[in-house]
């Protein structure tokens, strides 16, 4: 935005780029619902009841999906954030956890091998798998995708042609990050 930036630009040796909102559109969408013993709408509504308390882009995607289905989103209490792991709240007097494998493991929530395989498949497709547990029981997985911006491939390609290596920075797990990086 100024002359000094242009002068410094010639000295760039590499570029680190944030994934969400820079390489991707920054407007994630729910793509998959994988319930475990509950109806899809119940899984989505319970997750949305917790996620409506968060400004995180993945949380907003869950809430938008529930609203898009005209689901009733219950009130939640005692909302808690677990940095890098997920969130929790009480919905209809039951503790609901919404997050990653680590959050589930730390709370003693087990899920079958078939679910782990489904999670891995979502991640291989570049999607983020959000796990949900209700009352200490695994309830399902929500797959969320944040598509690449149309300009990302070209921009990274141009940096490469200029001999400037790029690194993607993300809080996503290795599989999801790898899928986006391959794209």
Residues annotated catalytic, as ranges: 18
Are the C-beta atoms of 127 and 145 separated by less than 8 Å? yes
**What is residue 24's three-state secondary structure?**
strand
Q: Are 28 and 130 in contact (CB under 8 A)?
A: no
Q: How many CB atoms lie within 10 A of CB 78?
A: 10
Helix (H) or strand (E) holding 142, with range, is strand 137-145
DSSP state of 98: E
């Amino acid at each position: 935005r100024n002359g000094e930036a242009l002068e410094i630009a010639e000295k760039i040796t590499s570029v680190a780029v944030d994934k969400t909102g820079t390489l991707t559109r920054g407007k994630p969408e729910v793509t998959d619902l994988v319930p475990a013993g509950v109806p899809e709408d119940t899984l989505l509504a319970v997750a949305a009841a917790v996620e409506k308390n968060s400004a995180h882009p993945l949380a907003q995607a869950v809430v938008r999906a529930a609203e898009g289905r005209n689901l009733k989103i219950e009130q939640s209490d005692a909302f808690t954030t677990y940095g890098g792991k997920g969130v929790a709240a009480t919905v209809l007097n039951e503790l609901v956890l919404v997050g990653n494998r680590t959050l589930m493991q730390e709370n003693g929530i087990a899920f079958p091998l078939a679910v782990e395989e489904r999670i891995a498949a979502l991640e291989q497709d570049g999607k983020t798998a959000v796990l949900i547990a209700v009352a200490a029981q695994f309830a399902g997985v929500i797959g969320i995708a944040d598509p690449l911006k149309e300009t990302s491939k070209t921009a990274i390609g141009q940096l490469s042609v200029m001999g400037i290596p790029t690194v993607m920075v993300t809080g996503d797990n290795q599989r999801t990050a790898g899928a986006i990086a391959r794209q």
